[in-house]
Amino acid sequence: MSSTISSSPQPSEPLDSTSSHPRSTGHAHHPDASKERFPPARAPATPELASLKIKIQQSLRQYPDFPTPGILFEDILPLFQDPELHESLVRALELHITTHYPKKQGKNPDIIVGLEARGFLFGPSLALRLGAGFVPVRKQGKLPGRTETAAYEKEYGQDFFQIQADAIKPGQKVLVIDDIIATGGSAAATGSLVKKLGGTLLGYVFILELDFLKGREKLDASVYTLLSSQEGPPKES
């Protein structure tokens, strides 16, 4: 019996790597373009972090009109195809977190919460390096046992997130991580789940921020993104 491998229709070809991101602002991908809110403790990027950011930025791809017309999709998957890039990503996030949430001062996270699906790609390895636990937040209907649920809206739709009710103990310090913050709906729902379980929300960490959607305004804890991107639709005059 023969098997067939079919390729999915390709609604759009990737734009070149970020070196030619046509809609990104000139400075948005500068290695120092990471953003933070709340903690004033903003150490300048170390030379190591700055060079890691350049590598990471250059590996991202954009797909216009995916998954729906009008969306410029940011593809982070190339970061995981090359072990050196994968290492750069995890190291960059580790550097940020250990600098801003120092263990010596007892500020280190006990738990990293990762969002389905792309937060699962680097959340567990990051947690391992930090000596923290990893807890997944999943789309509705995937987690067994007692769960808490939060509804949210994102850039291209509506959904529900769930967390296992015993996954975070009251008072545990939690960092939420994900690949992208767009409207901030997914992250805000996750923050509410963490708080519902009694966790202390330290903040949110993302690889990439879509600035024009102002998602960080929905979040009520520290927000850090390695890179930022996309100018948004042209403004009407």
Ligand X SMILES: Nc1ncnc2[nH]cnc12
Contact set with ligand X (CB under 6 A): 71-74, 154-155, 180, 182, 210
Which one of ligand PRP, ligand X, none is in contact with 72 (Cβ closer than 5 to 8 A by kind)? Answer: ligand X
Tell me whether residue 155 is one of the annotated catalytic residues: yes
**112 scored as a contact of ligand PRP (CB under 6 A):** no
Question: Any catalytic annotation for residue 61?
Answer: no
Q: Which residue is catalytic, options 118, 129, 153, 231?
A: 118
Name residues whose C-beta falls within 8 Å of residue 191's C-beta, 6 or more positions apart in sequence.
176, 201, 204, 219, 220, 221
What is the smallest separation between the CB atom of 72 and ligand X, expressed in angstroms? Answer: 6
Residue number with CB closer to ligand PRP (180 or 223) = 180
Residues 116 and 99: their CA atoms lie apart, in Å, by: 26
Site string for ligand PRP, 190-229 (x = CB under 6 A): -------------------------x--------------
Say whether residue 183 binds ligand PRP (CB under 6 A): yes
Binders of ligand PRP among 16-55, rule CB under 6 A?
A: none
By C-beta, is 115 or 202 nearer to ligand X?
115
CB of 170 to ligand PRP, least distance (A): 26
User: Based on CB atoms, which residue is closest to ligand PRP, 154 or 195?
Assistant: 154
How do 35-37 and 133-139 pair as beta strands?
Answer: unpaired
- Could you give the CA distance from residue 155 to residue 73 in angstroms, rounded to a whole number? 11
Binding region for ligand PRP (CB under 6 A):
115-118, 154-155, 178-187, 215
